[in-house]
Amino acid sequence: MTDQVLRPDGTGFYLAGGELTVAGVAEQTITGGLAVDFSVTAGLFGGADMDVMVASWSSAQTDDLSGVRSEHGRKVLPLRTQPVMLNSLPSSVRVQLRTAAGLQDTEGVWRLVLHFRNDAGSGLTWDASLLTEAFGAGWLAPLADLLTIDDADGAQAATSTPASPAVTVVHHSDDEYYELLVDGQQAGLLVYHVIGSHLSITHTVIEQTYRGRGLSWALVGHALDDIRTKSVTVSNYCGVVRRFVEKNPQYRDLLSLPRPA
């Protein structure tokens, strides 16, 4: 359960917990004793042969049932999670929910929240309503597109001048990410992972209130310029970085041939 978070060996953001919430008539699935099995799986480092379960909940597990609580008119199911590193996860994870028929058609009924943390105390939250695909073969849910930065100052983002913000990028090498600051406020992250002399770029996250302003390219460009100065080979698993390099071919020589995300 998520009240006892195990920290992994490694640096950067790791999965520190999560909840599946349910509202409306689907609550009967929980309170009425009907079967529910939920899972989030992913191929670590993009490899299908390394597919692992990173989060789960089952009504067949007594410990899972004992943790169910009510909050803001919804039932909250605390997930059992593995402390996997964000920089080891692919661009999408498979979300699958098996439950009683007819309880998956109402939009917003089932909602998934995942929490990522690092040792410095920073956090990211992934939050989404489950799509219909989650009740069949599984929904391939994008990671970076639905991540938000905890405690990001949205009010500052709304009032700053888009034409002339002060944009800086800070490298947190110990935690393996680049941080984008706009007028001193945290606006985005580029996450990577290093094994030996090989660096893998995995995710680029831009806080929602800063999107649509071209800031992801400022972050990616700065990060790639800095990475070029390192004695590493580079693979890319991030769609944002891929599109940036397509538009800026001077960076193509930096990247090794990327494996599928």
Q: Which residues on adjacent β-strands are paired with residue 90? A: none
Question: Which of 128, 148, 168 finishes a domain?
Answer: 148
pTM score? 0.79
Domain count, the chain: 2
The pLDDT tens digits of the residues spanning 156-175 come to 544 444 557 799 999 999 88
- What local confidence, expressed as pLDDT, does residue 46 receive? 54
Same domain, 142 and 156: no
- What local confidence, expressed as pLDDT, does residue 28 receive? 58
Same domain, 172 and 105: no
Q: Smallest Cα–Cα separation from 223: which of 243, 194, 250, 201? A: 201
Residue 5 lies in a domain: no
Residue 224 lies in a domain: yes
Band (pLDDT 50/70/90 cuts) for residue 7 is: very low
Same domain, 140 and 184: no
Rounded to an integer, the average pLDDT of 140-151 is 88
Amino acid at 200: S
**The domain that contains 160 carries what CATH number?**
3.40.630.30
The pLDDT tens digits of the residues spanning 216-230 come to 999 999 999 999 999
Question: Which of 94, 118, 148 finishes a domain?
Answer: 148
Which domain does 69 fall in, by range? 14-148
Same domain, 101 and 59: yes
> Which residue reads 């990577």 in tokens?
192
Question: Which of 148, 169, 192 finishes a domain?
Answer: 148
- What local confidence, expressed as pLDDT, does residue 45 receive? 58
- What local confidence, expressed as pLDDT, does residue 258 receive? 45
Name the 3-class secondary structure at 31: helix
Same domain, 168 and 221: yes
Band (pLDDT 50/70/90 cuts) for residue 43 is: confident
Same domain, 107 and 136: yes
